[in-house]
Chains A and B, each alone.
Chain A
Amino acid sequence: METTLIEKLPEVTWVGSLIKAVLILAIISALAGFGTFIERKVLAFMQRRLGPMHVGYYGLLQIAADGIKLFTKEDIIPQNANKLIFMIAPVITAATAFIALAAVPVFPDFTIPSWIPLLGDTFVPSIASDLNIGILFVLGMMAAGLYGPLLAGMSQANKWGIIGAARTAVQFLSYEVVTGLSILAPIMLVGSLSFIDFNTYQAGGIGDWLIWKQPVAFVLFLIAGFAETNRTPFDLLEHEAEVVSGYATEYSGMRWGMFFIGEYANMITVSVIASIVFLGGYDVASMFGWFFIMAKIALFFFLMLWVRAAWPHVRPDQLMWLCWKVLMPLAVVNILITALVMMV
């Protein structure tokens, strides 16, 4: 299959990158809102309920209602909180999530038609910033995302917040190790840190997908991805039944909404990484290549909701046990076996 179309692509100008950045911001923020609707609907159907039904056709306008509520709610800052840090923390979560999205291919590339004034003929790339170490950058940026919940919890002078912050530090630090180690084995096979190289490596169809060569790494990455995006079996940071709302206890209105948008953007990032690294990525040659990667990303997004409906929370000590006594040794053994097979 011909996949050398990358060389034929026109040069990326800074205008193109800028348009791409604005597009990512606009579309992913909107998707985060839509994601809440999908989540409620999927959870409802799995629990034999209907979910939001009253606002708009089939509850579709619920997003607008939620948005109006979030934007108009009073922005309360607790009296004894460290005000500056309290206000900055949600921005850190949202910002790091979107910066991580800068290095992954999100939407198809296109050229703006020439009849549009000013911007005509500008080529908009699929990756806003095509680094040749893309995977590491995304992982690093998601690692930096831990400061959002951490600072939020520590600045709000609330004991649930402090517990949430402590859990953030423990959980994210531990599962970063598993994410890095699990994705190292595919990196060794491909011999590159660039998403485009991963894509070309698996260009030969379903049989070439890395999930068949690295099934253990795939499962480990998914589990760690759930923990890093704070999804349900591992959402101890804001586990209502134990710590009220964890790091987000004192937040309201749009500041709380920013945590939410950041979480959903991170979910999309993890889905994109999983689909490109393990499930073949996008097919540049055919017309439907981009449709397929969207479908893969949607599949992973749905999987996250499905798991939320199906699995109970784990306890903090079970979380640590799983990370350090099960997942981490498995990841190391997986790397060793991969290295041995590659050497022989």
Chain B
Amino acid sequence: MYEMIAFYLFSALTIGLFIVTVMSKNVLYAMTSLAAGMVLISGFFFILGADFLGVVQLIVYVGAVMALYSFAMMFFDATRDIKEKNTSSALVFLLGGMSALVLVLMFAAPMHSDAITALYPMHKGVGNAQDVGIVLFTKYLVPFEVAAVMLLVAMIAGIILAGKKMDKSLTKDTAVDDEILVVKDKK
């Protein structure tokens, strides 16, 4: 009973918040509602008894990914509305159609619910984190390691891209000062 109420509450709120994310012209509204929606999605994991995944959702999406988005938001004027360019109607048609198709499939899915069984059911008495760990390090070891290597590659690439001028201090760079002085003199 509680699960039912919580599920419908979380669903309605999540969908509402994500609609705001898509429809809003204001950067701040979009970002806040996306973050709040991510928090509510972790609620679904808690309802299903997957505490560990719920907390991982919180830490990864709310704590890290969304915080990085918001860091990028620093470059915008958050108090002003953004005018979006109209994209081609063909693209809108294609994307809308695909979303509609996915929606139909999702609503039709319960017809097949008998055929769905958990491949790796949770064990009684074993913690959530242990269950996830066992599956990760046996069945999904290769994808797990590949993902780790990919993240490492991305990190090294990021450091190389950003680190070209790392040995130069921006505050001690007198050349910049000279440039500014030159510009001022010309004025």
Known: A132-B127, A133-B129, A144-B35. 13 other contacts (CB 8 A): A81-B79, A132-B128, A133-B52, A136-B55, A137-B55, A140-B59, A140-B63, A154-B70, A155-B79, A173-B64, A173-B68, A176-B64, A193-B127
Chain B residues, Cβ within 8 Å of A339: none
Stretch at the interface among B3-11, B25-33, B109-117, B143-151: B25-33
Shortest CB-to-CB span from A284 to chain B, Å, is 21
> Of residues 121 to 151 in B, which have CB atoms within 8 Å of A's CB atoms?
127-129
Residue B17 at the chain A interface, CB threshold 8 Å: no
Residue B93 at the chain A interface, CB threshold 8 Å: no
Residue B156 at the chain A interface, CB threshold 8 Å: no
Q: Per-residue CB proximity of B91-126 to A under 8 Å, as 1/0? A: 000000000000000000000000000000000000
* B55 contacts A147, C-beta separation under 8 Å: no
* A154 contacts B52, C-beta separation under 8 Å: no
Chain B residues, Cβ within 8 Å of A169: 67, 70-71, 74
A169 (CB) vs chain B CBs: closest residue? B71
- With beta carbons under 8 angstroms apart, the residue of B28, B52, B67, B68 that contacts A136 is B52
- Which label, helix, strand, loop or mixed, suits the secondary structure of the B interface? helix
Shortest CB-to-CB span from B105 to chain A, Å, is 32
- Tally chain B residues at the interface, Cβ within 8 Å: 26
Cα distance A82–B80 in the bound complex, in angstroms: 9
Q: Per-residue CB proximity of A79-92 to B under 8 Å, as 1/0? A: 01110110010000
Residue A143 at the chain B interface, CB threshold 8 Å: yes
* B32 contacts A88, C-beta separation under 8 Å: yes
* B67 contacts A146, C-beta separation under 8 Å: yes
* B127 contacts A82, C-beta separation under 8 Å: no
Shortest CB-to-CB span from B46 to chain A, Å, is 9
Q: A169-B67, A192-B127 are in contact. Are A140 and B73 (CB under 8 A)?
A: no
Q: Per-residue CB proximity of A120-144 to B under 8 Å, as 1/0? A: 0000000000011100110111011
* A166 contacts B74, C-beta separation under 8 Å: yes
A89 (CB) vs chain B CBs: closest residue? B32
- Which label, helix, strand, loop or mixed, suits the secondary structure of the A interface? helix
* A144 contacts B62, C-beta separation under 8 Å: yes
| 8 A-B pairs with least C-beta separation | A143-B63, A140-B58, A140-B59, A136-B55, A154-B78, A169-B71, A157-B79, A144-B62
- With beta carbons under 8 angstroms apart, the residue of A141, A162, A170 that contacts B58 is A141
* A131 contacts B51, C-beta separation under 8 Å: yes
Cα distance A137–B128 in the bound complex, in angstroms: 13
Shortest CB-to-CB span from B2 to chain A, Å, is 8
Chain A residues, Cβ within 8 Å of B129: 133, 193
Cα distance A80–B80 in the bound complex, in angstroms: 9
- With beta carbons under 8 angstroms apart, the residue of A143, A162, A180 that contacts B74 is A162
Cα distance A88–B35 in the bound complex, in angstroms: 13
Chain B residues, Cβ within 8 Å of A170: 71
Chain A residues, Cβ within 8 Å of B78: 82, 154-155
* B51 contacts A85, C-beta separation under 8 Å: no
Residue A151 at the chain B interface, CB threshold 8 Å: yes
* A143 contacts B62, C-beta separation under 8 Å: yes
